[in-house]
Structure 1
Amino acid sequence: MASNGRLSLSSPNGDSRWLGACSPLESVTPVLTCCGFKEYEERTGRTLQSNGSQHPLKKQQQWVSPRKPLSFEPLSTTALILENRPPNLPAKCVQEAQRHRREYEEMVAQARKRELKESQKRKKKMKERCKIEDGISNSVMTWNTEILPNWETLKQMRWVRDLWWQGIPPSIRHKVWSLAIGNELNITHELYEIFLSRAMEKWKQFEDSNMENGDVEAELELEAVGADRENSLELIKLDISRTFPTLCIFQKGGPYHNVLQNILGAYTCYRPDVGYMLKYYAAFEVFFEENLPNLFAHFKKYNLTPDIYLIDWIFTLYSKSLPLDVACRVWDVFCRDGEEFLFRTAIAILLMFEEVLLRMDFIHMAQMLTRLPENLSIDELFTAIATVQLQSRNKKWGQVLATLQRDWRDSGDSSRNSSPNRQ
């Protein structure tokens, strides 16, 4: 029946189906199963057969390939390999079907093997993490109940130094670092404000000089080579930008930028004799050659000088070059052993990558040393540090540094005395 320009077909049970007059034949196929072919032809005046061709429904039914029941659950879409081919393609032979089944079973076995391996890795990591957390918990208790209450008595004990070497628990680092650093300079809040004001005046003078950005960079490089007085204040800004750059808390605009800059500025004005001095490079090279003679000669061959990589390592206390957790471990022992440990760490890093560096040229060495691997292992680093000895010809770090300072001072006096402009 036709109604409102649409074709109505009724099923034997009286149900009515509304179909668009221009609907494709495929859309009425479900209806045909109820109405029958002849009734549909009588009502629509359309024939489903022409030139002896088969009924579309019968033709469609030939394409139906019911899936064979499987004795196991297929794994995702990989089970498609087990399906029969469409009728317009050659059917699988028995050998091919068996091969496809074997391939599928192999894929399932490999997937289960990978899943089992990953599960074992996760369990191993979890076990190691629990072990580390238990060790930290026990260490915190030892520090809080035994060491910190008796700091002056126990701080130099061998077992305390060994525990210190393993790393201070993060929750008590601030206490241990404060006690280890102490206040030998007797700095008070009033003294801090005085020298901070002096640093502020110096920075204002630098800003008033109106140097262009390129000139500033050139000036900084010049000062990095030779300056060791209050003029090195300008280098502080450069160093702060290198301090944990990925955290973005010490960079300009960050929450701790001004705090860190003020502390460094005040200290530089309070102790201008410390500054940024070339003598440390010379002392480092003495022990570099002593511990790694082959790599030292390789660096000399390509004229790779310590300032190329030590600026990023030492001047920022490894805050730029090492991940935060590794840097904190270095700081733990730095608070115990002083600046000597920073250079010992530097030689240990070179030791870790010695074989790789020996195969590199200048460019690749400089790139690697200024961008150390982010996955650097704490355990491997401290194992390497333990093998480094800062002793040359029976002289330790402090003695070598004192000798270089004395030589530098004597050479400076000699150059001034021999100056033609001397009055």
Structure 2
Amino acid sequence: MSVAPTPHPRSTVPGVPAFTPPRRASASTASAPTGRTSTGRRLSDWFRSLSSSSSTVSTTSTSSTTQVLCRTRPHTLPPKPKAEDAKHMAEYAKMMKAAQARDAAARAKATKLRLVREKEAIAALNTWTSQILPNWDKVRYAKKTTDLWFKGVPPRLRGTIWARAVGNPLHVSPDVYELCKRRAADALTSHRMQRAALDAALAEAVAKRARAPSLSSGESSAATLSGHGETAPPQQPMVFQGRKDTLDLIANDISRTFPALGVFQQPNGPLAEPLASVLEAFAVYRADMGYVQGMSYLAAMLLLNMDDYSAFATLCTMFRHRSGVLPVFYRLDLPLVTKYFSVFSTLLAQVSPGLAAHFDRIGLRPEFFLYEWFLSLFSKPLPLDMAARVWDLYFLDGDAALFRIAVALLRFHERLLVGLAFDECISDVLRLPGRIKPGPAGRVGEVDADVAFWDCVRDIVPLDRDAYRALCRGAGLVPPE
């Protein structure tokens, strides 16, 4: 009994031609010579008509936003029933309305938070100007002052408060600053003249050697090296004393200091010349140390908040104690640097023992990242507003603030670091300061990331001066008072 073939379903999509299934080929057709069969022709014709109809549909359809949103199925599928389509569009409208309501609530919350912060900033500014600064000696270490200080010094008062916090125990006067600037200018001029004279003498020696072919190269070299031949350049007296020869490094580093701000870059940067003056004067004042790369960020942060003389005096005071973190790290005093690394490791083990054990297991040592953080007092790796708050804490608690911030950075990102291999871990650690930016922290209550970080500094890493001195004495250090 023969079974009738099931008819092939025809396309019901508008604008798409129906496909007619091919009939079984006859014996004559099967034995036909090679070439395009009727089946091949029909398939190719159908695909060709399908592509042409698709292009026609796409070109004739309206591209308005409303029609795109209302199209609930592709044109190659049968349309939805009207009831189902209406139901889905109603659900879509409901979702859009809910999303708009959430956006409006988020904007209202952000506006409310901004107004609250503005009121707090105004109240803090009034407290600083009317209560703290007029009675500085009495309330400098009061709990109310330190609590307000921890929340951040008002930007317009930072220069005044930072200068008062460190004082001027070295009695650096404006006359001292001007004298150091003049000596730096004279040293640079003399050095450039000396270098020009040496270059001219060398060029003359090369020219004489070229004009005297009879003199063998060996004799010429011997005469030059011995200093008795005519080709030897004249000896010039040394101008620089100590480490003042590092003055030439300053011009190269200024353009690389806070490049995003554009205020320290030549030729139009308004603070480029003051920054050069402060650094050159400091290199003369501290001739035992001179200029070291990284100091430009210290002087630049000071210049953003005070005049050049105050920045110079404050910078000199910050390097006053030879056993402090800044002088030790900039002099690269390895025995003392190693002891400071021990202080950091001890504090990290107390606050985050799991992360400290992970660092020991993969061989990640503090020197791999603390140098970059401490040399600029976090002003290079952190966003500028966050770095300013770190400096506030530094002028409040001294060197203890640096260890507190460093440990808090690692503790705040502990979940990201535990379990990583050495290469991934060190790469993430070096990028950690840049992650602390205002914005959602991914915690309940939509707390900003910077707010959550400072909560971590206050609550999880409470390191005051006495506790820091105890850690230093345990590592064999004599911390500055």
- Rounded to whole Å, the distance in 2 between the matches of 1:183 and 1:394 is 24
Partner of 2:207: none
Partner of 1:295: 355
- Rounded to whole Å, the distance in 2 between the matches of 1:235 and 1:398 is 34
Query: Which residues in structure 2 correspond to 1:32-47 (within 5 Å)?
Result: none
Residue 110 of structure 1 aligns to a residue whose secondary structure is helix
Answer with 1 or 2: which has the greater Rg: 1
Partner of 1:381: 453
- Rounded to whole Å, the distance in 1 between the matches of 2:90 and 2:149 is 54
- Encode CA deviations 1:113-162: one digit per residue, 9 max, x unaligned: 11000000001111111111111111111111111111111111111111
- Rounded to whole Å, the distance in 2 between the matches of 1:265 and 1:148 is 32
Quote the sequence identity (%). Answer: 28
Aligned CA distance change for structure 1 residues 334 and 153 (closer, same or farther; 3 Å): same
Aligned-residue offset at 1:203: 9.9
1:285 aligns with 2:355: no
Out of 124, 127, 134, the position equivalent to 2:119 is 134
- Rounded to whole Å, the distance in 1 between the matches of 2:246 and 2:355 is 31
List runs of 5+ in structure 1 lacking aligned partners. 1-73, 211-227, 406-423
Greater mean deviation of Cα atoms: 277-286 or 98-107: 277-286
Partner of 1:336: 396
Amino acid at match of 1:354: E
Out of 76, 84, 94, the position equivalent to 2:66 is 76
Partner of 2:418: 358
Aligned-residue offset at 1:289: 1.8
Any conservation in 2 of the 1:299–1:305 contact (CA below 8 Å)? yes
Query: Which residues in structure 2 correspond to 1:8-407 (within 5 Å)?
Result: 76-77=66-67, 80-81=70-71, 96-199=81-184, 201=187, 208=195, 240=254, 243-251=257-265, 253=267, 254-271=269-286, 272=288, 274=319, 275=327, 276-279=330-333, 281-293=337-349, 294-372=354-432, 373-376=434-437, 377-386=449-458, 387-388=460-461, 389=463, 395-396=469-470, 399=473, 403=477
- Encode CA deviations 1:187-219: one digit per residue, 9 max, x unaligned: 112211333345553798599599xxxxxxxxx
- Encode CA deviations 1:339-359: one digit per residue, 9 max, x unaligned: 331232112112212232232
- Rounded to whole Å, the distance in 2 between the matches of 1:394 and 1:321 is 24
- Rounded to whole Å, the distance in 2 between the matches of 1:178 and 1:394 is 23
Aligned CA distance change for structure 1 residues 119 and 357 (closer, same or farther; 3 Å): same
Greater mean deviation of Cα atoms: 365-374 or 316-325: 365-374
Aligned CA distance change for structure 1 residues 301 and 281 (closer, same or farther; 3 Å): farther
- Rounded to whole Å, the distance in 2 between the matches of 1:174 and 1:391 is 23
Aligned-residue offset at 1:323: 1.1
Aligned CA distance change for structure 1 residues 268 and 163 (closer, same or farther; 3 Å): same
- Rounded to whole Å, the distance in 2 between the matches of 1:166 and 1:341 is 14
- Rounded to whole Å, the distance in 2 between the matches of 1:371 and 1:259 is 31
Residue 292 of structure 1 aligns to a residue whose secondary structure is helix
Partner of 1:68: none
- Rounded to whole Å, the distance in 2 between the matches of 1:166 and 1:354 is 24
Amino acid at match of 1:359: G
- Encode CA deviations 1:358-403: one digit per residue, 9 max, x unaligned: 3223332333233333443332332232333378999536646873
Greater mean deviation of Cα atoms: 156-165 or 307-316: 307-316
Aligned-residue offset at 1:283: 3.8
Aligned CA distance change for structure 1 residues 299 and 157 (closer, same or farther; 3 Å): same
Partner of 1:223: none
Aligned-residue offset at 1:321: 1.0
- Rounded to whole Å, the distance in 1 between the matches of 2:401 and 2:360 is 24
Greater mean deviation of Cα atoms: 190-199 or 341-350: 190-199
Structure 2 length-normalised TM: 0.55
CA RMSD of aligned residues (A): 3.9
Aligned CA distance change for structure 1 residues 234 and 384 (closer, same or farther; 3 Å): farther
Amino acid at match of 2:117: I
Aligned CA distance change for structure 1 residues 140 and 334 (closer, same or farther; 3 Å): same
Any conservation in 2 of the 1:287–1:391 contact (CA below 8 Å)? no
Aligned CA distance change for structure 1 residues 394 and 262 (closer, same or farther; 3 Å): closer
- Encode CA deviations 1:211-250: one digit per residue, 9 max, x unaligned: xxxxxxxxxxxxxxxxx96577677667656643322333
Residue 263 of structure 1 aligns to a residue whose secondary structure is helix
Amino acid at match of 2:282: Y
Aligned-residue offset at 1:282: 2.2
Residue 149 of structure 2 aligns to a residue whose secondary structure is helix
Amino acid at match of 1:306: P
- Encode CA deviations 1:15-40: one digit per residue, 9 max, x unaligned: xxxxxxxxxxxxxxxxxxxxxxxxxx
- Rounded to whole Å, the distance in 2 between the matches of 1:265 and 1:127 is 47
Greater mean deviation of Cα atoms: 272-281 or 363-372: 272-281
- Rounded to whole Å, the distance in 1 between the matches of 2:181 and 2:244 is 12
- Rounded to whole Å, the distance in 2 between the matches of 1:339 and 1:162 is 18
List runs of 5+ in structure 2 lacking aligned partners. 1-63, 199-241, 290-318, 320-326, 438-448
Residue 403 of structure 1 aligns to a residue whose secondary structure is coil
